Chain A
Amino acid sequence: MAWYQHRRTRAVPESLLGPAGLLLAAALVEVLPRAGLVPAEYLPPLSAMAGALAGEAGDAAFWRALRDTLTGWGAGLALATAAGVLLGLVIGRAEPLRRATASTIEFLRPIPSVALVPLAVLLHGTGPRATLLLVVYAAVWPVLLQVLAGVRDVDPVARDTAAVFRLPTLTRLRHLLWPTLLPYLMTGLRLAASVALILAVTAQLVIGSPGLGREIALAQAANAVERMYALVIVTGLLGVCVNAGARALERRVLFWHTSERTEAAA
């Protein structure tokens, strides 16, 4: 806001606009099909979706699917993070290794992970391990690239100083590498977390391994439209939770970092 602009007082305060937008959208989804403006077989009213969701909540199969999705996501993310950090540290700290792997990484990275769907099916059938394969392949890249960038970003003056003082390796890792690496790692982790969720659901949708994705495909095939929408909403809420969780973790771990501190001040 420029200083010469008068701030007009408005009827609705800023903080209420977001919830108002959500309510508005909900009302639209309820009214449009009821008024017959959108065919109900394309978009059922929100209350019908809510009813289907309530029905799901009483169904053990739904909870099992949710659990399968979360396990695939969590296990895949954990494996990808471990692999990404290890590889990143090994490759990033040795310049020749970095140069030798750069072209291979640049080539493998843009390969869409779904290209591996047929391979996953052949190797693991429709089991949960097929999901795992895809999730790990997709989620390892953000972590690896961020770790590589982080290792590279170590302040050269600080590094040379540490060398001059002959700090032991562990001290160097703890006080030199770790603080530089951590912000990069958290960014990579946050990106990987949402990629992993997408791939987990996708694998279930396309391959038919157990989880929410498969339930959505089944509901669609059975023309259970309300149920399908209810499950889509559940995956959306999961995504929101993953994003919020990653942000919260970032804020906790990086409370000392400039970016978080300036953000808090602003």
Chain B
Amino acid sequence: MSRNAPVRTRERGRSRVRGGARTALRAAASGAVRLAYALGLPAALLALWWALTARGGSFYYPPLGDIAAAFTDTWLTGGRLARDVAPSLARLAAGWAGAVLLGVGLGLLLGLRPRLRALAEPLLAFCRAVPPPVLIPVLMLVAGIGNGMKVAVIVTGAVWPVLLNTIQGVRSLDEVLSDTARCYGVTGAARLRRLVLPAAAPAIVTGMRQALSLAIILMVIGEMFASSSGLGFAIVQFQRGFAIPEMWSGIFLLGLVGFGLSLLFGLFEARALGWYHGQRGLARGAGGARRAARPRERAGGDTRAGDAGTASARDEE
């Protein structure tokens, strides 16, 4: 994109000479093309589903119209939005917030204390490698099957990406900055707030994003496994009762929740890290030279696994 930029400005300049109407037209046309690209395939897929299932469809793939009707009936007018979705989201929010607080707190501690970190490292590697859903039966022993258990599952499962990314972020602190701060006597809380946290923020945000997608998964599994309310519970209930259109509507709703939350997080990230992306963009534009670095772990966001800790920070150099 950036390579094309000079060409495009030149074009725009020329058309301004000929008149603004053409510019407006061209802008509208390019907007329409972009919109067509964005909506074309989804529309085609939905139309395909609609066409394939219009005449009854199969049992497992009901007509799209039925699913849409089930969606309105169950979630919008049936009141399940308040009964099932709200508690799910509340657990998700509590668990995620807990995981972020715990992860950042512990991460700062371990990141700033090398000896402590060396002591904890193999243990952390093991704990992170345990597939988080396995913790559900373990926590059921301790916390029963109430809300506490579900929040605890989310916290214990989603804390790892935040923790490991925070540690990496703190470790990759710029040494010159760090020494400068020390020379000026910036220590203690001021150092934490003005130096360590901003430096670690990009890594922390990456961890938070991974924690979010992990938290959604754990919320659903926790509810599927043992619950009497919640989105996961509702979907499993529909499936067991062979209420297929309702089940599909639940799957769609879950997809929308995942999509919406990732969209919200994107907004949050753009706000919280705007300074950082701006800085990077400048550095990249001025440098010009392509870095031979490892691919940026953009996919970090999709690591449902919560791997990442080590990789993303290394990639940021």
Contact = CB atoms under 8 A, between A and B. Distances in A.
Asked whether A and B interact, the reply is yes
A187 B37 CA distance: 29
Interface in B228-244: 232, 235-236, 238-239, 244
B73 interface: no
Contacts of B294: 183, 187, 257-259
A152 B283 CA distance: 20
Grouping DSSP codes into helix (H, G, I), strand (E, B) and loop, the A interface class, with mixed when no group exceeds half, is helix
A71 interface: no
Given A110-B259, A146-B295, A240-B126, A213 B134 contact: yes
B37 A184 contact: no
Interface stretch (B15-23, B187-195, B213-221, B271-279): B213-221
B225 A205 contact: yes
Interface string B280-307: 0000000000101111011110111111
Nearest to A225: B141
A110 B262 contact: yes
Given A102-B38, A191-B303, A110 B213 contact: yes
A45 to B, nearest CB: 15
Given A21-B119, A22-B123, A145-B299, A112 B217 contact: yes
A76 interface: no
Contacts of A115: 220, 235, 250-251, 254-255, 258
Contacts of B307: 190-191, 194-195, 243
B131 interface: yes
B60 interface: yes
A118 B238 contact: yes
Interface in B113-140: 115, 118-123, 125-138, 140
From B45, B121, B125, B236, residue with most partner A Cβ within 10 Å: B125
B292 A205 contact: no
A235 interface: yes
A239 B130 contact: yes
Interface stretch (A57-65, A169-177, A196-204): A196-204
Nearest to B120: A21
Interface in A18-52: 18-22, 24-25, 41-42
Contact count band on B: 35 or more
A123 interface: yes
Contact of B299 (A117, A142, A235): A142
A17 interface: yes
Interface in A208-265: 213, 216-217, 219-220, 225, 228-229, 232, 235-240, 242-243, 257-259, 263
A2 interface: yes
B134 A201 contact: yes
A18 B121 contact: yes
A118 B247 contact: yes
A195 B238 CA distance: 27
A243 B129 contact: yes
B179 interface: yes
A180 to B, nearest CB: 9
A235 B238 CA distance: 31
B110 to A, nearest CB: 11
B41 interface: yes
B261 interface: yes
A239 B39 contact: no
Interface string A121-154: 1110000000000000010011001100110010
Contact of A145 (B213, B238, B290, B298): B298
A191 B45 contact: no
A205 B222 CA distance: 11
A100 B35 CA distance: 10
B11 interface: no
Nearest to B300: A191
Contact of A99 (B37, B118, B130, B259): B37
B45 A114 contact: no
A145 to B, nearest CB: 5
Contacts of A146: 295, 299
B314 interface: yes
A17 B134 contact: no
Interface of B: 3, 37-42, 45, 60, 115, 118-123, 125-138, 140-142, 175, 178-179, 182, 213, 216-217, 220-221, 224-225, 232, 235-236, 238-239, 244, 247, 250-251, 254-255, 258-259, 261-262, 290, 292-295, 297-300, 302-308, 311, 314-315
28 contacts: A18-B118, A22-B123, A22-B126, A42-B141, A100-B37, A100-B40, A103-B38, A107-B259, A110-B255, A114-B221, A114-B232, A115-B220, A115-B255, A118-B238, A118-B251, A155-B290, A191-B299, A191-B305, A194-B305, A195-B304, A195-B307, A216-B134, A220-B140, A228-B141, A232-B134, A235-B131, A243-B129, A259-B314
Given A115-B250, A194-B307, A225-B141, 17 more contacts: A10-B115, A17-B121, A110-B213, A110-B255, A110-B259, A112-B216, A115-B254, A119-B251, A121-B239, A155-B290, A187-B297, A197-B131, A202-B133, A220-B137, A228-B137, A236-B126, A240-B126
